[in-house]
Amino acid sequence: MSDADRLNDDVTAPSCKKIKFDHQTENGVSDVKIQLKDFIPEKILRNNTNTKTVCVQGKFISKSGVAIVILEKNVFKEEDLNDKGYFSPETVLETYFQNDIYGNYACFPKSSINGVKATIIYPASEKHIIKYSQQEVHIVLETPELYEKLTLPFIKKEQFNLQWVYNILDGTSEQDRIVHDNKCEKEGFVLLPDLKWDGLTKETLYLLAIVRQRGIKSLRDLNESHLPLLRRVQEEGKKKILEKYNIRDSQLRIYLHYQPSFYHLHIHFTYLRHEAPGIYAEKSHLLSTVIDNIEMMGNYYQKASLPFTIREMDNIFDVYETNGYVQRIKPNIQNTELIDK
């Protein structure tokens, strides 16, 4: 849903050959089939060698509008590390070099365990293109005054469309993916796999709790009236994850992002063994700490200064730059030329 976080469409597939996904329209959800053989790549937005993820901008044959395809190498599943998986007779090795006891090879496992996770955003807006482009990142320390003066007006004007959130909460989309559903309008929430998780591999568990109560945009809006909601998300989320995935609460990272990628309150649940995007100090706030802070001071998050990161292509960067709080990094012409080549 990032980070991420989440976009207008949610897609998960075991391979990149053929994908069927829900295409949202103004009137709801219609079923659309898309095949990657019809995708025409036009520009690589980002190629992350750490996460083994590449984001490609392009278009589909005979379809209008821009599309973004995100390809990500799957993690190794422990159940495939045997003679029927990676060490089966179907696995092929091609030698790069061999020197004494050391050998380096290209490994080609059988196709059934060699899939690539593919995410498609179509039609993609300019905001999506910016979100997935490689760019310089800056950190801002947002005081309550800066929030009211700069951030809040920007949020009201520029945030992503939230129809996909309402589709989930209203029961018109992704109901087969829901792990837990508390239907209480004040304290209820829906728990389901995040866009970044395939829903299958325990080692990369990543769930998102989307609260039913509307009007809570982010951490900044939370106060003592929201404590019952936050505690319910924390306790019911932990209980359900233990029941379904056999992961104890001591192995869960439960947190909120600031700034979030979309402005309807949601809470992240990830496995501690998984180094999920957005878990670092400049973005992540543990739910237990958030609850403690509000218990100590009911309006803590209306009084606190909060850090957050912004990228140079984000529209909010222009707002903070114009007001003198950040300065754009001048491109290194020599490095740019090397990249272009």
266 is catalytic: yes
**Strand-by-strand arrangement of the 67-73 sheet:** 39-48, 53-60, 67-73, 116-121
Find, among 260, 202, 211, 205, the residue nearest to 234 by Cα: 211
Q: Which residues contact 301 (CB under 8 A, 6 or more apart)?
A: 219, 220, 221, 222, 223, 290, 293, 294
262 is in an annotated binding site: yes
Q: Helix, strand, coil proportions of the chain in percent (round to 5)?
A: 30, 30, 40
d(CA 220, CA 255): 14
State yes or no: 164 annotated in a binding site. Answer: yes
Q: Given 226, 266, 274, 285, which residue is catalytic?
A: 266
Is 265 annotated in a binding site? The answer is: yes
258 is in an annotated binding site: yes
Ligand-binding site membership of 260 (annotated): yes
268 labelled ligand-binding: yes
Q: Is 194 annotated as a binding residue?
A: yes
- Tell me phi and psi for residue 72, to 5 degrees: -140, 130
Given a contact cutoff of 8 angstroms between Cβ atoms, the answer to whether 296 and 321 are in contact is no
Q: Does 257 carry a binding-site annotation?
A: yes
C-alpha distances out from residue 243 to 138, 181, 196, Å: 40, 14, 22
Q: Is 267 annotated as belonging to a binding site? A: yes
Active site residues: 266
Binding site listing = 164, 174, 194, 196, 257-268
Binding site listing for substrate = 164, 174, 194, 196, 257-268
